[in-house]
Chains A and B, each alone.
Chain A
Amino acid sequence: MDLEPHTWLILGKLAGAGVALGFGGIGAAIGMGNAAGMANHAIMRQPKVQREMLRTMLIGQAVGEGAAVFALVIGLFIIVVSPANLDLIGGNYFAALLGAGLSIGFGTFGSGLGCGWPAGNACAGFARNPARSPKLTQSMIIGQAVAQSPSIFALVVSLILILTAKNGTDLPTMGIYISAGLAMGVSALGSGIGSGQTAGGAVDGIGRWPLAYGVTLRTMLIGQAVCETPAIFGMLVAFIMMFAMGDLNPGLLGFAQVFGAAIAVGFGGVGPGIGSGLTAAKGCAATALRPDKDALILRTMLIGQAVSQSTAIYALIIALALLYVVG
């Protein structure tokens, strides 16, 4: 653990920027590939409007790529950032940069992957009836923008980590920084995928039954908001770790405490995020099919999502117990 300050700084920059762009790139790449595949399929069915279809696909991909752009911004920031006092840098700074990378990397993974579905489904809907393209594009952009909010949360946490890192080297503080990033990033992964699926379902529904445009959009927004609850739990735990931690156990025990909490709330949020997304996607499609029954469908969707999120609440309880009760 006795490394030169310069070595810690360079190690942190390499690890943080690498993790940020590595993981952040995967999601957007898969998502945009998915969108392009669906667009190809749609062009095959309606070759006459291929130019307009290409435009829709490119708009969707450009908005969906936003998540990867966040990762790029943070990665660049990690590379160019230079702390005030270079001689006092220790392991804590390394951990903060690595945590920032983990947060933004995993956080943008989900949003990037999720944004592929609305773009692809917009192209598929376009192939069904080219006259509906403005509404499809509009709903696609709104859905994608809301699906980016988990990655915005991840961006907040990673910037706070970079800007408030302490000097010195001690295992519990290193644990706090890495764990805060991990908790935020991984929990945003599931929420991003889920919100994207919701937007995809809504765009699919609007493409098939365009009459219920407004009602479907409302169901989509509520469904996406509920999908983002696991990411909000992750952000809460990350904030608690960074600002409201009392005395941690010294040494390895303190590290284990925060790291365990991060794994619980982070990975515990993946399943509920994706599951709520599956529910909300079907809920949006059903609302588009039967707009007269929208209140009933919305209620069933919310009950289903709430039950699906009970495991995220168990994970939050375990994480809070690890942080406050065990010690």
Chain B
Amino acid sequence: MESIGERLIWYYVPFTDIPIPLGGVNILTVFNATLVMVVLLVLARLAVRKFAMVPSRGQLAIELYTGIFDNLVTSSLELESREKNRRFFPLIGTLFLYLILSNFIGFVPTHFFEEPTADINCTLGLGLLGMFIATWCAIKTKGMGGYVEELLGPMWDQPDATGAAKIAGKLSAIFFFPLNIIGELAKVVSISFRLFGNIVGGSIIIIVVSNLVYHFSLLAVGLDLFFIFFVGTVQAFVFTMLTLTYIAVAIK
């Protein structure tokens, strides 16, 4: 039971007395996140080593994955040309692979391999990344003015309104602007806490159930398989699709 929330945190830069700002670094998360990246890099390198006309099993898997995600990105963004859609494909495809491997790493039964996604700092960083890209794309497609006008609410820009209705529309921005800003921040909070809560919740349930019924360990193994592989896959997909959808809404 003690292992819930047990963390290896560095409060100082190693071998010195320099404190690390913002309350230290969770070294296990950094280690595992780096490990996932290295594994992905090695796998990608191995996968593209030789492409044959008649694909091997590995090449087939890669081609299938690429095809599925290419279709997903194209059908969600609906930009005019396939090349423009494809600019977002590397981000979305890599995000899903990274998240799914991060969620699966908790299956290795040692203390070293914890899911990086069970640390709120990791998911919050990924959520901020997604929203930053979405906002950047929105400013690029609509211009700074268009983006701010959207934040000022639906009643700011009424071409056919006159007199009092027009003034009321402009005044409504005082109300809508802070609300839209908070709404944007709430998106980051909700996308990152959703992944974090599901992954942490899964690992806590496994620990509690195996403490309660440790003579019947098959149940714990089944729960382990369900939460790590099923919930991990679904939540990785949800995170990826939400990032894609936020981008799609931002550039429309």
Contacts and interface: CB of A to CB of B under 8 A. Distances in A.
Q: CB–CB under 8 A between A and B in the complex?
A: yes
Contact of A152 (B4, B202, B234, B249): B202
Contact of B248 (A153, A221, A228, A295): A295
Chain A interface residue number, banded: 35 or more
Contact of A236 (B4, B193, B200, B209): B193
B248 A222 contact: no
Interface stretch (A88-96, A169-177, A310-318): A310-318
5 closest A-B pairs by CB: A152-B201, A229-B190, A232-B193, A153-B197, A156-B201
B245 A313 contact: no
Interface stretch (B27-35, B47-55, B157-165, B178-186): B178-186
A306 B252 CA distance: 16
Interface stretch (A27-35, A69-77, A112-120): A69-77
B204 interface: yes
B242 interface: yes
B183 A313 contact: yes
Contacts of B76: 295, 298
B186 A152 contact: no
Q: Is the interface of B mostly helix, strand, loop or mixed?
A: helix
Contacts of A225: 194, 238, 241-242
Contacts of A153: 197, 201
B183 A236 contact: no
B43 interface: no
B14 to A, nearest CB: 27
Nearest to A80: B212
Chain B interface residue number, banded: 35 or more
Q: Is the interface of A mostly helix, strand, loop or mixed?
A: helix
B183 A302 contact: no
A313 B179 contact: yes
Contacts of B238: 146, 221-222, 224-225
Contact of B204 (A80, A155, A228): A155
A163 B4 contact: yes
A241 B147 CA distance: 35
13 contacts: A142-B234, A149-B231, A149-B235, A152-B202, A153-B197, A221-B241, A225-B238, A229-B186, A232-B189, A232-B190, A235-B197, A295-B75, A299-B248
